[in-house]
Structure 1
Amino acid sequence: MKSLKTVLLSTAVVAGFGILLGGKEALADEVYTVQPGDTLSAISYNFFGTVDAIDQIVKVNDITDKNLIFVGEELILPTDGTTPVAAAPAQTYNEPAPVVEQAPAPVVNNYSSNVSGSEAEAKEWIAFKESSGSYTATNGQYYGRYQLTNTYLNGDYSPENQERVADQYVAQRYGSWVAAQQFWLANGWY
């Protein structure tokens, strides 16, 4: 009986020592499902209180383009202590962090939009919110700089057609790019 107690006590001590040494492994990463309108900067800010975790999220999830995530995609949010963690913010962060990268190759665009001034600013603002300005961004059935459905684009994904269709869509639905921007601000989409 004494030897059984010794074995049990020894096993408990070794297990406790193993937990102490391997305590870092006890933390489990969190899985987050991407929602409509999410960006990596918003996810980083909402979960860690800072946008400094973007590169860590990109690395852990083997993301090739940090400006392109998909609704429904499951992301691993590292909780191993290497990601900066701050107190939870009082409000959510919706503004993407500025990304400094090499400028992409210029896209030839033969369509000339007639918007200028505040209309042009609103149009660029929506393009940045929808796709970070990329003509090749995809999100399910939505494609391009203005994230229009494939049916609107009629199979022509050229920058010229995207610009032309976006101008027509906004003119018909909202009357102006400024009105479309106001709708986006109120609803998170246009």
Structure 2
Amino acid sequence: MTPLKTILFSTTLTAATAAGILFAGNGQASAATTYTVTTGDTLSSISNKFAGNNDLVDSIAKNNSISNINLIYVGEQLTIDADTTASTTTQAAATTTQAPVAQTTTPVATTQTATPVQAATVTPAATTQASTTTTATAATTSSSKEWIAQKESGGSYTATNGQLIGRYQLSASYLNGDYSAANQEKVADQYVTSRYGSWDAAKSFWLSNGWY
């Protein structure tokens, strides 16, 4: 089987991250740290790695302009403010002796509404040419999408690999429990549009990296 979304999204802490984290258990660090999101990460779990609790969720979201704290992407690089980490941990220790309770947050893929494309107004003489161009573009996009589906799963909607599901090997959290063919198609289109802009661009990335 070809490299799947786990390979796509699996990244390790960068050298800067390794140097930035001193003790993940107590949230102590000496400088701002760059952290690369890996499969299964949430802002809650990342906060616990650095501070031992959920106190950093809001500051991480604010520092990295994350509007939805339940949605982060594998491979995304986040800046963790180490000074905030140390300050938050010290303040928590001074104000309470109760052990912090880790909040588990499952990343949920939001449903993105595709922006309707306004049809271009063309003169009668240009109608045939515009129609031909649109048909050719749609055929290319469909071909690229099918090409990726075959590379990822052999075109099977029931293919699985760990938490990667279906025809396009999407994370189970992205599908939000709905593994139907229709939902797989919809979520795959949303994912590719938001990350690459088009299936053709996603195919080009796949050819260069072996995943998308």
Q: Normalising by the residue count of structure 1, what TM-score does the alignment of the two structures yield?
A: 0.40
**TM superposition score normalised by structure 2:** 0.36
Whose RCO is larger (CA < 8 A, sep 6+)? 2
Which of the pair has more CA radius of gyration? 1
